[in-house]
Amino acid sequence: MTRIVHLSDLHFGYHRADLVAPLLDRINGAGADLVVVTGDLTHRARAAQFRMARDFLSRIAPPVMAVAGNHDVPLYNLPVRLLAPYCGYRRAVSPALAPLRQVGPVCVLGLNSVDPLAVQKGRIRRADLRRLTAGLDGGAMNVVALHHPLEHLPAVDKDLPRNATQALARIERAGAQVVLSGHLHVWATDAMLEQTAHPGLLQIQAGTALCARPSDRQNEFAVLQFDGPVIHIERHIAPMAEAGFRPPIHERFSRQGGIWRAHQPPETPIVPGATETAFSTA
Ligand SMILES: [Fe+2]
Ligand SMILES: [Fe+2]
């Protein structure tokens, strides 16, 4: 049994300061073997924001691995954006843009989906994809972690990353079983599984763990428990109007014959309307 905390979109600099301590308490009390952060650790990639992110990560007890998000490269400082887009991220978070961690029977492989030449839209580079698929472990549950989702629900009005469709097919064909992402600030897992043409991949799209943008309606993170072919998910949700996290709600998925199935009713937002408002930014 392996437990992984999945966090995304912390947005330090535009974050809920009141939620930092409750979030750290929940993370450190989760009995996790690993914490995976799928990007947007800062809001504008400023030095002070990276310091806040680094301080937060240093207070997490289990090992942490992270990938960058579009907000982790400078938006307005064009020389840095073009010449050294990841300098702040590498200094504060991780020198590696595509880290890999093995925790028991689970192998987590990072994939950098950020395109410093674009504002929001991501990009999957073919060379990165080649490296990632070469690193898959045939005997493990392979989990790919990146910032941008590789598939969107119909309500989303943003573009997918360049090469997303090909990447999704290739990742599934190569034998990965799970994809973790963030970026849209809206949880989607069950709904994604219902619509996807790639049911061999469980795509877990996290909400935002700390962003203070009111239209996000709620902050949340998830604990994923890997138990053979079964993944139990605990969603820890803090509505914007509340000071802390509610008791977790549970979802369960299992994989048989190379296909994932859900074992609970489709998820509903704990705050009415929460899944309808946040698609257009992030
Ligand atoms: Fe993002
Ligand atoms: Fe974000």
pLDDT digits (tens, 9 = 90+) for 111-161: 999 999 998 999 999 999 999 999 999 999 999 999 999 999 999 999 999
State the DSSP H helix or E strand holding residue 221, giving kind and residue range, or none if neither: strand 218-227
pLDDT at 267: 52
Neighbours of ion ligand 1 (CB under 5 A): 40, 69-70, 183, 282
Whether the per-residue pLDDT at 164 is higher than 90: the answer is: yes
Cα(62) to centroid of ligand 2, in Å? 23
Higher pLDDT among residues 188 and 75, named by residue = 188
Q: What is the pLDDT of residues 43-68, one digit of tens each?
A: 999 999 999 999 999 999 999 999 99
pLDDT at 209: 98
Chain position carrying tokens 């990841």: 86
Whether the per-residue pLDDT at 276 is higher than 50: the answer is: no
User: Which ligand has the shortest distance to the CA of 115?
Assistant: 1
Residue type, 277: T
Whether the per-residue pLDDT at 278 is higher than 80: the answer is: no
User: Which ligand has the shortest distance to the CA of 158?
Assistant: 1
Cα(228) to centroid of ligand 1, in Å? 31
pLDDT at 271: 56
In the chain, where the domains are located: 2-277
Smallest Cα–Cα separation from 216: which of 278, 147, 130? Answer: 278
User: Which ligand has the shortest distance to the CA of 212?
Assistant: 2
CATH 3.60.21.10 is right for the domain spanning 2-277: yes
Residue type, 38: T
Cα(119) to centroid of ligand 2, in Å? 12
Cα(229) to centroid of ligand 2, in Å? 30
**Residue 268 to residue 198: CA distance in whole angstroms:** 22
Cα(263) to centroid of ligand 2, in Å? 29
Chain position carrying tokens 């999945």: 6
**Looking at residues 2-23, what average pLDDT do you find?**
98
Cα(148) to centroid of ligand 1, in Å? 7
User: Which ligand has the shortest distance to the CA of 208?
Assistant: 2
Averaged confidence pLDDT in the chain: 94
**Residue 24 to residue 238: CA distance in whole angstroms:** 13
Q: What is the pLDDT of residues 242-275, one digit of tens each?
A: 999 999 999 999 999 999 999 965 555 555 555 4
> Quick one: tokens of 75?
């938006």
Between β-strands 64-67 and 34-38, what pairing exists: parallel, antiparallel or unpaired? parallel
- Work out the end-to-end distance of the chain between its first and last CA atoms, rounded to an integer number of angstroms: 33
Cα(275) to centroid of ligand 2, in Å? 15
Q: What is the pLDDT of residues 183-207, one digit of tens each?
A: 999 999 999 999 999 999 999 999 9
